[in-house]
């Protein structure tokens, strides 16, 4: 954008910046949920330059009249698996007819992904990235994990790096069929040559620590190898049953333990006493008909929560952060404010980002305007496409 832009007459501006409301600012300006009514915001040079009451707004080169609509930070989707081929709608239909979800379903996507061309994978990835943007997601994480050979994982992270800076190497998603009976051999590949090939394109290392995937020692080995290569850890933990995932994540100093559906009191205490965010993925519980994670228990214990889509073809084929916010409010007993915070500032925390997830001077100008007067409409009007406009790094996105 050339010059400055003033968005005025914002009915409700969600800032996540209590400093603006007179309270202390959190990490990088992120604090608790906070908002200003009858507000205005100025964007300059890809960043937020000013926020405050509409009546005191300064002049700018261009003007957008929000006419009472709500403006929020763009959603930060900190957990997604977007590089894949194939379709598992039949598996979903069978689950809805009573079959259980199992980690092994991942293998059918692995077969399709290995068989896909680069162009085919790229087309699917870009389609999902555009879908996310239309629904207000301005930053997303993207994992590998459906290749599970050195070249297929390497091309997965390279493709992911075309669409996001938040690339996660997930070679340790499941043990592929050619390593049946030799999980140790596969872990050696994941923390050796596969890591060498993927580290240059990745910021994060992840492991699916779950019965049917990888155990605690295997997870520790993969995370340690990734850390030694400069990658930061995050963990798929406690999705299908209680287990060691959360403890492994906290021990490793992971930025996030994701899923957190089946937790012991010790897991909750460990998260509360750590810098590890609990990333809840209600799309996965929706898509597998599992009980939702107990967000209230985590919040009451002082755990920082992020909400993300887990967009993937198996357990959670949604790219919609508004849908996840609605589920969290309706079925996980989060307030509308807590859910919106978790989907924006919480996601930023889970990605160790201090430039996004809030709107205050200095923040990256990633913001969305709703066709609604308040953030609560995201849950109050579930399934309705409320995102009217998106700015990413100060530029208005073409939503097609």
Binding residues vs Fe ion (CB under 5 A): 310
Q: Is 234 near ligand NIG (CB under 6 A)?
A: no
Residue 318, binding choice from Fe ion, ligand NIG, none, Cβ under 5 to 8 Å by partner class? none
Question: Do 255 and 352 touch, CB atoms closer than 8 A?
Answer: yes
Residue 138, binding choice from Fe ion, ligand NIG, none, Cβ under 5 to 8 Å by partner class? none
Residue 314, binding choice from Fe ion, ligand NIG, none, Cβ under 5 to 8 Å by partner class? ligand NIG
Q: How far apart are CA 260 and CA 257, in angstroms?
A: 7
> Which residue among 191, 201, 236, 375 contacts ligand NIG (CB under 6 A)?
236
| Residue 10 C-beta: closest distance to ligand NIG, Å | 35
Helix (H, G, I), strand (E, B) or coil at 50: strand
| Residue 236 C-beta: closest distance to ligand NIG, Å | 5
Backbone angles phi, psi at 233, to 5 degrees: -85, 150
Residue 168, binding choice from ligand NIG, Fe ion, none, Cβ under 5 to 8 Å by partner class? none
Token pair 């999980």: residue: 183
| Residue 278 C-beta: closest distance to ligand NIG, Å | 14
Number of residues counted as binding ligand NIG (CB under 6 A)? 13
In the chain the first and final C-alpha atoms are separated, in Å, by 19
Instruction: Pick the closest to residue 377 from 347, 341, 337 (CA basis).
Output: 337
Question: Do 85 and 120 touch, CB atoms closer than 8 A?
Answer: yes
Tokens encoding 170: 């997930």
Q: Is 208 near ligand NIG (CB under 6 A)?
A: yes
Token pair 């007819």: residue: 97
Q: Is 172 near ligand NIG (CB under 6 A)?
A: no
Q: Is 106 near ligand NIG (CB under 6 A)?
A: yes
| Residue 134 C-beta: closest distance to ligand NIG, Å | 23
Helix, strand, coil percent values for the chain (each to nearest 5): 40, 25, 40
Closest to ligand NIG by CB, 137 or 290 = 290
Q: Which of residues 299-328 bind ligand NIG (CB under 6 A)?
A: 310, 312-316
* Residue number of the CB atom closest to Fe ion: 310
* Non-local CB neighbours of 228 within 8 Å, separated by 6+ positions: none
Buried b / exposed e over 81-115, threshold 16 CB at 10 Å, is: bbbbbbebeebbeebeeeeebebebbbbbbebbee
Q: How far apart are CA 310 and CA 244, in angstroms?
A: 20
Q: How far apart are CA 43 and CA 45, in angstroms?
A: 7
| Residue 314 C-beta: closest distance to ligand NIG, Å | 2
Q: Is 4 near ligand NIG (CB under 6 A)?
A: no
Residue 169, binding choice from Fe ion, ligand NIG, none, Cβ under 5 to 8 Å by partner class? none
Residue 338, binding choice from ligand NIG, Fe ion, none, Cβ under 5 to 8 Å by partner class? none
Q: How far apart are CA 209 and CA 204, in angstroms?
A: 16
Residue 54, binding choice from ligand NIG, Fe ion, none, Cβ under 5 to 8 Å by partner class? none
| Residue 219 C-beta: closest distance to ligand NIG, Å | 13
Q: Helix/strand/coil (H, E, C) string of 57-105?
A: CCCCCEEEECCCCEEEECEEECCECCCCCCCCHHHHHHHHCCCCCCHHH
Q: Which of residues 238-267 bind ligand NIG (CB under 6 A)?
A: 239
Residue 208, binding choice from Fe ion, ligand NIG, none, Cβ under 5 to 8 Å by partner class? ligand NIG
Token pair 């790094």: residue: 393
Chain residues that interact with ligand NIG, rule: CB under 6 A: 105-106, 109, 208, 236, 239, 284, 310, 312-316
């Amino acid at each position: 954008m050339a010059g400055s832009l003033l968005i005025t007459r914002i009915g409700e501006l969600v800032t996540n910046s209590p400093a603006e409301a007179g309270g202390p600012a959190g990490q990088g300006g992120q604090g608790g949920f906070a908002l200003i009514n009858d507000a205005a915001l100025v964007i300059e040079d890809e960043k937020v330059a000013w926020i405050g009451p509409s009546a005191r707004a300064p002049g700018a080169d261009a003007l957008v009249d929000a006419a009472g609509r709500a403006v929020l930070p763009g959603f930060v989707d900190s957990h997604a698996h977007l590089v894949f081929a194939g379709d598992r709608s039949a598996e979903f239909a069978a689950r809805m007819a009573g079959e259980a979800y199992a980690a092994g379903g991942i293998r059918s996507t692995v077969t399709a992904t290995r068989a896909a061309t680069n162009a085919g994978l790229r087309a699917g990835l870009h389609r999902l990235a555009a879908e996310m943007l239309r629904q207000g997601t301005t930053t997303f994480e993207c994992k590998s994990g459906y290749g599970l050979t050195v070249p297929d994982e390497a091309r997965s992270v390279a493709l992911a790096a075309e669409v996001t800076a938040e690339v996660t190497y997930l070679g340790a998603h499941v043990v592929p069929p050619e390593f049946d009976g030799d999980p140790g051999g596969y872990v050696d590949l994941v923390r050796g040559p596969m890591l060498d090939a993927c580290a240059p394109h990745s910021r994060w290392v992840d492991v699916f620590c779950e019965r049917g995937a990888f155990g605690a020692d295997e997870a520790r080995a993969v995370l340690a190898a990734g850390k030694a290569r400069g990658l930061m850890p995050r963990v798929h933990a406690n999705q299908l049953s209680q287990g060691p995932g959360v403890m492994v994540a906290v021990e490793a100093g992971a930025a996030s333990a994701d899923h957190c559906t089946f937790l012991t009191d010790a897991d909750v205490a460990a998260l509360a006493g750590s810098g590890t965010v609990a990333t809840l993925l209600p799309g996965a519980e929706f898509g597998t008909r599992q009980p939702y994670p107990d967000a209230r228990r985590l919040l009451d214990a002082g755990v920082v929560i992020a909400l993300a889509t887990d967009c993937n073809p198996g357990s959670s084929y949604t790219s919609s952060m508004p849908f996840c916010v609605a589920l969290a409010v309706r079925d996980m007993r989060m307030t509308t404010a807590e859910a919106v915070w978790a989907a924006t500032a919480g996601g930023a925390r889970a990605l160790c980002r201090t430039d996004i997830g809030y709107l205050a001077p200095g923040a990256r100008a990633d913001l969305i305007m709703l066709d609604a007067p308040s953030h609560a409409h995201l849950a109050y009007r579930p399934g309705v496409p409320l995102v009217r406009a998106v700015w990413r790094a100060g530029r208005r996105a073409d939503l097609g």
